[in-house]
Structure 1
Amino acid sequence: MELNDMNLGIGLKDSNLSILLYADDIALLAKNEKDLQQMLDKLQDWCKRWRVLINTSKSKCVHFRKSRAKPTNFEFSVGRNKLENVNEYKYLGVVFTYNGNFSTHTEALSKGSGRALGKIISSIHQF
């Protein structure tokens, strides 16, 4: 995708990581608001060219920062549609939080595994 050619993203050793792709799920990574908006504009152009629609109601922005830092008030957009800024987002089953803490994700995993274990135990007791 042409986003890689923009040389934007986050530094990772000797290269930049700007996009994560899996099936129809896309995550854009940028160092700052300006870069992310440029990437969103480029993605919108690509999608228009290939007649692909972006579901902006499912699209969100997370400003990763230290816990005490103020969140961005930048309004990101795709075309005329504003994207919601959120403190956490679930991507491919993993909950990413603004401060890099995975406690929300591990709590969700614990609850899910507890429910599964409860079902197994109840099934065993039926014998």
Structure 2
Amino acid sequence: MLTHAIQDFQRGVYIPYCLDGSFFDLRRLTAKTKSLKTLIQEIIFADDCALVAHTEQDLQQMLDRFSGASKLVGLKISLAKTEGLHHPAPYSSPPPLTITIDDTPRANVNHLKYLGSTISCDGSLNREIDTRISKASQLLGRLRNRVLNEHNIRLSTKLKVYNAVVLPSLL
């Protein structure tokens, strides 16, 4: 359905990259002969989909195509779960997005969760880091009474539980 929706639509976000191992030399990305670019229009996982575009008009066209394609195959977009996140250029204050799906305006948010991670409109990771620290702290508190303070469990087992439960939540 998504392939049908955005076929022949060459707008989205172009990501430049290098294949020569120079990932940390950002100056190489400006050299046209030494870098490649790929078009990213959607980020999908299972039944979640994020559409990405540089301009509001391109995003609206993608949403219109996506909505039309979903109707063709008998699917319905969940309007309650559909949000818009605008990531403006630094130090700019553009007007909020006015994205609609089937003439229904969509909410603009400053933060949204996608696949368990918090994405902020300013590109900041503060909220994501705070959330991860909070989750790890909650897990550690739950483990304290059941595992960590238990004298019958070996230290190596406690470390394995910590590494398997707490660290993945934190990282």
Q: TM-score w.r.t. structure 1 length?
A: 0.92
Aligned residue in 1 for 2:115: 92
What is the SS of the residue equivalent to 1:45? helix
Q: TM-score w.r.t. structure 2 length?
A: 0.69
Q: How many pairs align?
A: 127
Say if 2:87 and 2:121, in contact at 8 Å, map to a contact too: yes
Q: Does 1:40 align with 2:43?
A: no
Counting only pairs closer than 5 Å after superposition, residues 11-22 of structure 1 correspond to structure 2 as 11-13=14-16, 14-22=37-45
Say if 2:86 and 2:97, in contact at 8 Å, map to a contact too: no
Distance change (3 Å), C-alpha of 1:119 and 1:126: same
Task: Name the structure with the higher strand share.
Answer: 1
The counterpart of 1:122, out of the listed 139, 145, 148, is: 145
| Sequence identity percentage | 24
The whole-number CA distance in structure 2 between the counterparts of 1:5 and 1:92 is 28
Say if 1:63 and 1:71, in contact at 8 Å, map to a contact too: no
Deviates more, 1:3-12 or 1:56-65: 3-12
Task: Name the structure with the higher helix share.
Answer: 2
Deviates more, 1:6-15 or 1:111-120: 6-15
Distance change (3 Å), C-alpha of 1:9 and 1:123: same
Q: Does 1:70 align with 2:93?
A: yes
Counting only pairs closer than 5 Å after superposition, residues 92-111 of structure 1 correspond to structure 2 as 92-111=115-134
Cα-to-partner distance string for 1:11-53 (whole Å, 9 max, x where unaligned): 1122210101111100000001000000000000100101111
Q: CA RMSD in A?
A: 1.5
Runs of at least 5 residues in structure 2 that lack an aligned partner in the other structure: 17-36, 152-171
Runs of at least 5 residues in structure 1 that lack an aligned partner in the other structure: none
What is the SS of the residue equivalent to 1:21? strand
What is the SS of the residue equivalent to 2:129? helix
